[in-house]
Chains A and B, each alone.
Chain A
Amino acid sequence: MNRNASRILAALFGVLAVTLPFFAGDYPLQVARNIMMYMALAITWDMLLRSGQISFGIAGLFGIGAYSAILSVIRAGMPAWFSILFAAIFSGVVAFVIGFLILRLRAMYFSIVTLALGEIFRIIIHNLHDFTGGPEGVVIQKGVIFGGNANSLYWLVLAGLAVALAASFWFEKSKIHFALTAIRNNEISAQSSGIDIFRWLLLAFVVTSAIQGLLGGIFVQSYGFATPDAVFSADFTLLPLAMALLGGVYSTTGPIFGAILLGLASEWLKLKIPYGHLVVYGIIIVIVILFMPQGLRQLVRRTSHSADGRSA
């Protein structure tokens, strides 16, 4: 694939994504919304991965965003659209604070701590009955965003995805790319080339967390309710991870294609197998790690022999 062809393809995809509500029915629209949500999460997970840090805490920050959005509407009477921005800011601030503690950790210690933090957030929300509604959760009674119009909600999710895409391209095209890649490859040599490792990691962690919070806010506003089990669901960690791995990590395109493939496949499997269709995700993760650690992107590259594009 040469560069022009891929640009045209990307433009076509973009037009298709924006105009989908005009010709697709309710069900395809719903599926597309789900896929875009997970796609955006997969991209943010990958953005942090580019620095070599694996986060298992996507669900935690997503849930924080979701609850800060819904509670700011219900308890503080914030307008719906502003609550989504608030969710992003709040998650970013939370990430900034915990980043100071945990970004000194490396490898599995970082991963395990992010997983544990996600659980801590869930338990706190679960137990603060009076403020958060406890295990039954909270429902938005009035002032549902866009009056619940399905097309507008679709564009809202698309906007969330666009934010994630823009951030990912920003990470890819600016000097952040070089800093994160250097940190991933070798921290000592990165440090000796004058890279302030902690600062770049903090930037990546805060930006990705803020977007995850934003998506949580969008999610909760478009469904109008939140329960701890729904918004802190392990799916929000697991699915994006599998999607990014399948498509190919350290890139923006990898998670996009991984999300489309896995999203459609799981939608189909959900209809066929009501229990345990997630087994596919587990098996895909295992196979990808064992046989194609670079994901499908590697296969495409190898077969097309293209020399263009930057190597990740």
Chain B
Amino acid sequence: MVMKRRTAIIAALSIAAAVVLILWKPTVLIYGLQAAGLYAAVAIPMGLVLGIVHIVNLAHGEFMMVAAYAAYFGCKALGMDPLLAIIPTAIVTAVFGWVIFQLTIRRALKAPELNQLILTFGLAIAFTQTINLIFTSQTYKIPLDYVSASMDIGDLTFGVWSFVFVAVAIIFAYGVKFFLTKTMTGKAAVAVGQNPRGAAIVGIDVYRTYGLVFALALALVGAMGALFLTKSAIFPSVGSPFTMKSFCLIAMAGIGNIPGILGASVLLGVSENFLRAFRPTRDWAEIVFFVLIIAVILARSLKGRKS
């Protein structure tokens, strides 16, 4: 009952906030939602890995960066549109992720959590710097016409392409949920996530499942890498902010709560764009997320101590 009332209050507040924003600053809501879609679509695979393999992958955004570079050079070589590259990039990234998992992360699964953290931190640096080494810090971009498509409502004009991220985020969230609740492999993965030893006793190959989940998450990351390329220029450190943002969103939603990531990302995306809409506060938009992450973690730790 208490929970229900709280959810109702949160829902009412967010609807009220949305109505106020639509009337007052519609662009904040529009661009906020678009940003939220991008954040959520990148964060969901990380949430999957964190929920089942229990690894904080600090190289998450860097994997997406590598995927975007792969997509870029694939597209350049074959003259293809990044949208067509989504599936091939997803496959390549999944294989790449699986190999990295087997070579490194798998060996650290039993190590203390801090070692895993430092390990993936090292992977992140290795990825960024390898790309930096090969392609230098130059930016690459594929110019596309359909990206600049815009829409007019009244005297309001805004870009519509980025709504594709919102769609992808929703597909990812419910696709992952479907996978975890309806398919045999997904159910096995949930079992492994809840209790690896118990899962092993009933005959699930735990390490195979870890590898599979990691590869699946990386396939989603790869798809996002190709899709990201349509919208944005790429450079070696383009992925790193997404690592932290994804982690922040997952921490807000609670580990294992994949659809909750959608709500958390709307909060982050809209509040960032809200600050960006006013000249004096524009430069402070970047700080929102860092303050949010600290607030969320502190709030959780306080709550944990009380109960």
Which residues does A use to contact B, with CB under 8 Å? 52, 54, 56, 101-102, 104-105, 107-109, 111-113, 115-117, 119-120, 123-124, 126-127, 238, 241-242, 245, 273, 275-279, 281-286, 289-290, 293
A104 touches B111 (CB 8 A): no
Flag whether B83 is at the interface (Cβ < 8 A).
no
Q: Is there contact, CB below 8 Å, between A290 and B247?
A: no
Indicate if the CB atoms of A123 and B284 lie closer than 8 Å: yes
| Residue numbers in A under 8 Å from B156 (CB-CB) | none
- Can you spell out 21 A-B residue pairs with CB atoms less than 8 angstroms apart? A54-B114, A54-B118, A102-B298, A108-B114, A108-B117, A111-B117, A113-B294, A126-B283, A275-B137, A276-B134, A276-B136, A279-B132, A282-B122, A282-B123, A282-B126, A282-B127, A282-B129, A285-B118, A285-B126, A289-B122, A290-B119
Inter-chain contacts of A120 with B (CB < 8 A):
287, 290-291, 294
Given A273-B133, A278-B129, A285-B125: A241 and B293 interface contact (C-beta under 8 Å): no
> Contacts A105-B297, A290-B104, A290-B107; is A112 near B130 (CB within 8 Å)?
no
- Interface mask (B281-307 → A, CB under 8 Å = 1, otherwise 0): 001101100110110011011000100
Given A101-B298, A119-B290, do A289 and B129 touch, yes or no (CB 8 Å)?
Answer: no
Chain A residues within 8 Å of B297, by CB: 105, 109, 112-113
Is B125 in contact with A282, judged by CB distance below 8 angstroms?
yes
- A275 to B123: give the CA distance in the assembly, Å: 18
In the assembly, what is the distance between CA of A283 and CA of B130, in Å?
10
Q: Is the CB of B114 within 8 A of A116?
A: no
Inter-chain contacts of A119 with B (CB < 8 A): 290
B290 engages A279 (CB within 8 Å)? no
A281 vs B130: C-alpha distance in the bound complex, in angstroms? 11
Closest to B284 in A: A127
User: B111 near A293 (CB under 8 angstroms)?
Assistant: yes
User: Is B124 among interface residues, defined by CB-CB distance under 8 A?
Assistant: yes
Q: Kindly supply a per-residue 1/0 record for chain B positions 261-297, scoring 1 wherever the CB is within 8 Å of any chain A CB and 0 otherwise.
A: 0000000000000000000000110110011011001
Give the residues in chain A near B124, CB-CB below 8 Å. Answer: 282
Residues of A within 8 A of B48 (CB): none
Task: Please tell me if B244 contacts chain A, counting CB pairs below 8 Å.
Answer: yes
- Is B283 touching A116 in the complex (CB atoms < 8 A)? no
Number of B interface residues at 8 Å Cβ cutoff, please give it: 44
CB distance from A262 to the nearest CB of B (A): 13
B293 adjacent to A116 (CB under 8 Å):
yes
Bound Cα distance A120, B244 (Å): 13
**How far does the alpha carbon of A113 sit from the alpha carbon of B126 in the complex, in Å?**
23
Residues of A within 8 A of B128 (CB): 282
Q: B247 touching A276 by the CB < 8 A rule?
A: no
Query: Contacts of B291 on A, CB cut-off 8 Å?
Result: 120
Given the known interface contacts A109-B301, A289-B108, the answer about A275 and B284 at a Cβ–Cβ threshold of 8 Å is no
Residue of A52, A107, A120, A289 ringed by the most chain B CB atoms within 10 A: A289
Q: How far is the CA of A126 from the CA of B244 in the complex (A)?
A: 20
Question: When A123-B290, A127-B283 are in contact, do A285 and B301 touch as well, CB less than 8 Å?
Answer: no
- Give the nearest-CB partner of B113 in chain A: A107
Q: Considering the complex of A and B, which 9 residue pairs feature the smallest CB-CB distances, nearest first?
A: A285-B122, A276-B133, A282-B126, A282-B125, A279-B129, A276-B132, A286-B122, A116-B290, A289-B119
Which residues on the B side are within 8 Å of A101 (C-beta)?
298
- Beyond A241-B121, A279-B132, A286-B126, 20 extra complex contacts between A and B, CB < 8 Å: A54-B117, A56-B121, A104-B305, A105-B301, A107-B113, A109-B301, A115-B244, A116-B290, A120-B291, A123-B284, A123-B290, A242-B122, A275-B133, A276-B132, A279-B125, A279-B129, A279-B130, A285-B125, A286-B119, A289-B119
A112 with B247: CB separation less than 8 A: yes
Question: How near does chain A come to B306, taking the closest CB pair, in angstroms?
Answer: 12
Among residues of B, the one whose C-beta sits closest to the C-beta of A119 is: B290
Identify B293's interface contact among A56, A107, A112, A290, CB under 8 A. A112
Between A54, A109, A286, the greatest number of chain B beta carbons within 10 A of the residue's beta carbon is seen for A286
A241 in contact with B108 given A116-B244, A120-B291 (CB within 8 Å):
no
Cβ of B102 within 8 Å of any chain A Cβ, yes or no, is no
A289 cross-chain contacts in B, Cβ below 8 A: 108, 111, 115, 118-119, 122
Give Cα A175 to B241, complex, Å.
Answer: 41
Q: For the complex, what is the distance from the CA of A281 to the CA of B118, rounded to whole Å?
A: 12
Least Cβ–Cβ distance between B241 and chain A, in angstroms: 10
Closest B residue to A273 by beta carbon equals B133
Q: A275–B132 Cα gap in the complex (Å)?
A: 6
Q: Are B118 and A113 in contact (CB under 8 A)?
A: no
Report chain B residues within 8 Å CB of A275: 132-133, 136-137
The verdict on A276 contacting B119 (CB below 8 Å), with A101-B298, A107-B114 known, is no
Is A286 a contact partner of B104 (Cβ separation < 8 A)? yes
Looking at A56, A107, A126, A279, which has the most chain B CB atoms within 10 Å of its CB? A279
Nearest opposing residue in chain B for A128, CB measure: B283
Instruction: Tell me if B46 counts as interface (CB < 8 A to partner A).
Output: no
Contacts of B300 in A (CB 8 A): 109
CB of B126 within 8 A of CB of A279, answer yes
- State the CA gap A276–B134 with chains docked (Å): 8
